Homo-oligomer: A and B are copies of this chain.
Amino acid sequence: MSKPYVAGMDIGGTNSVFGIVDRDGNILCTDSIKTQQYKQLDEYVDAVCDGLRPLIDKFGGISQIQGFGIGAPCANYYTGCVEGAANLEWGKGVAPLAKCFSERLGVPAALTNDANAAAIGEMKYGAARGMRDFIEITLGTGVGSGIVANGQLIYGHDGFAGELGHVIVEKGGRPCGCGRRGCLETYCSATGVARTARERLEQSDEPSLLRAIIDRPVESKDVFEAAVKGDKIAKEIFDYTGKILGEALADFTAFSTPEAFILFGGLTKAGDFIMEPVRKYMEASMLHLWKGKVKVLVSQLKDADAALLGASAIGWDA
């Protein structure tokens, strides 16, 4: 029954990257197409299959593939559909991707969002191996999350659960892309760090290396580079970001009490500049029951591989 490989795909706004993965989490080969090049769902599915078949054939054909796991925005695990993805021409309504691919390829296919895929990848191959209760927090352009409790991913009643980036951490705070105010992701994403930088620089005339960046907006990696050089404002920006994230993690602990929070994505490259304040403020805000009991770890998935690897992982049980 059990076959040696899965196929996986990460559907990004620009590229759809697909490949073949073995049971140890080795990505054996990949290819990609442009996600936005196709207006109709059928065209898109055809293009993916045309790209994927040669890779499958390299490893013994479809009979060697256990399933196809897909990570996508607005993915509903229960229905196998992408639902209302505003940025995808072929995904604006309800796009039944899992059904399309399983019919076309002849293997089971399953779909989840990228943060859930990262959580599953982490559980199978990364920092969460052996854990039954953990929360993956993805800190990228936005903030996403994948929540594992009792060894299972929480999909909720409708298949969309685990959107901790949209927990409101500051009532009446920063406007969010979702139309509300004060969501965690307006502070703790890469974009949020850049917003904090802009605010801080405007608030005073205090000298900062960041003031030398005049030809373009300050980005979160500029803040990291300035912090490395000892810049006080840059370090304060990470402290502020870490306070908001750490306090949020203390609140999340009251929900599912994970063994660990696992942070993934661009912002974790700032290392201790972000991890230390996150841990410090989480502990300070933690209910006495859980003080000293919850770890904050950096993902062990390689950035370049994580999305595809995580997505492929759901192919094993598709």
Contact = CB atoms under 8 A, between A and B. Distances in A.
A147 B152 CA distance: 14
Contacts of A254: 161-164, 166-167
A114 interface: no
Nearest to A152: B150
Contacts of A152: 149-150, 152
B149 A133 contact: no
A287 interface: yes
| Copies held by the complex | 2
A281 to B, nearest CB: 12
B160 A133 contact: no
A80 interface: no
A290 B251 CA distance: 21
Contacts of A250: 168
A289 interface: yes
Interface of A is mostly: loop
A231 interface: no
A180 B282 CA distance: 13
Contact of A157 (B157, B161, B258): B258
A59 interface: no
Interface in A278-307: 285, 287-290, 293-294
A103 B305 CA distance: 52
A152 B167 CA distance: 23
A122 interface: no
Given A178-B287, A180-B285, A252 B255 contact: yes
A271 interface: no
A156 B149 contact: yes
Contacts of A161: 133, 149, 254-257
Interface of A: 132-133, 147, 149-150, 152, 154-158, 160-164, 166-168, 171, 178-180, 247, 250-252, 254-259, 285, 287-290, 293-294
25 contacts: A133-B161, A149-B149, A149-B152, A149-B154, A149-B156, A150-B154, A150-B155, A155-B257, A156-B256, A156-B258, A157-B293, A158-B257, A158-B290, A161-B257, A162-B256, A163-B254, A163-B289, A167-B255, A168-B250, A168-B285, A171-B247, A178-B287, A178-B288, A252-B255, A256-B256
